[in-house]
Structures are given as structure tokens and as C-alpha cells.
Amino acid sequence: MEIIHGTDILSKGKIKLTLRYSVQRQTLVVTVHHIEDLHFDDTKSVYVKIYILPERHKETKRKTKIVKTSKNPVFDETFEYAIPQDEFDSKQLEVLVVEERLVGHHPIEKVLIDLDKLGLVLPYTRLFRLSKTH
């Protein structure tokens, strides 16, 4: 289900997401529940940023609240994207775990999910394995 590129290094971290598709509303619904086993200094803060690829436009960016961290930050936030179901074969969901910094923000871990590989009429909840971004 997940795309792991050859240069990606898997981490111990996992992010729990629920994905579902509303056929009537032509809407992808994404719930970011929590992260488990984040390999990260727990004195820092993180949030989750989501894009629909291949376009990485401002219109497709969604962000959770910032959590003053722990190794297992909880978000429980839901986001929606208006996407016709026939476009799923060309779309991916990019989920980034981002470190909040004084100067700029830095993605530390991510997962890419091919939307066409998921049957999303029923809610699909799972832990997705994260990979390091650098």
C-alpha cells in the first residue's frame, strides 16, 4: 500500500490514519489519529502536513495543530479533499511529520499512499510505517 523509495530509510515510527471516500460528496476524508514510536527528541514540537500529489499546491495542503511532543503525539483531526474517484489512479496522499523550529519548519518523517490501491468506500484505518525524509 505504501510507496517506499530506494533512498528512503524506514523508521520505527508509525502514523495511524483513517481514510474513506464519500461517493455522494466526491470527497476523500482523512483522519490523522496519532503517531507511535516517533524517533525524535521529545522536547520539540511536531505537526502533520498532508498534500495530494502529484500537485503540491496550497489548495491541497492541510495541517494539524502543533503538539508539544512526546514520542506518541495525538492529533485526532479530520480533513477533506474534493477529488473525483476516477482521478484516484493518478493521485497519492503525502503525509509529512514536521518539526516546528524557530526558523522554518523541517519535515522529519513521511509516508506516501497510492489512493488507487485502497478501497475507500468503507473507512480504512491502519498504522502506516513512516520513513525518514533525510
Range of the domain at 70: 2-132
The domain that holds 11 is classified in CATH as 2.60.40.150
Q: What pLDDT shows up at residue 118?
A: 73
Question: Tens of pLDDT along the chain (134 residues)?
Answer: 444 443 455 667 899 999 999 889 999 999 999 999 887 666 678 999 999 998 888 888 999 999 987 778 999 999 999 988 888 888 999 999 998 876 777 888 899 998 887 777 778 899 999 988 76
Number of domains comprising the chain: 1
- Contact indicator for 15, 128 with CB cutoff of 8 Å: yes
Residues 6+ apart with CB under 8 A from 22: 29
Tell me the whole-structure pTM to 2 decimals: 0.85
* C-alpha span between 68 and 97 (Å, rounded): 13
Residues 6+ apart with CB under 8 A from 5: 131
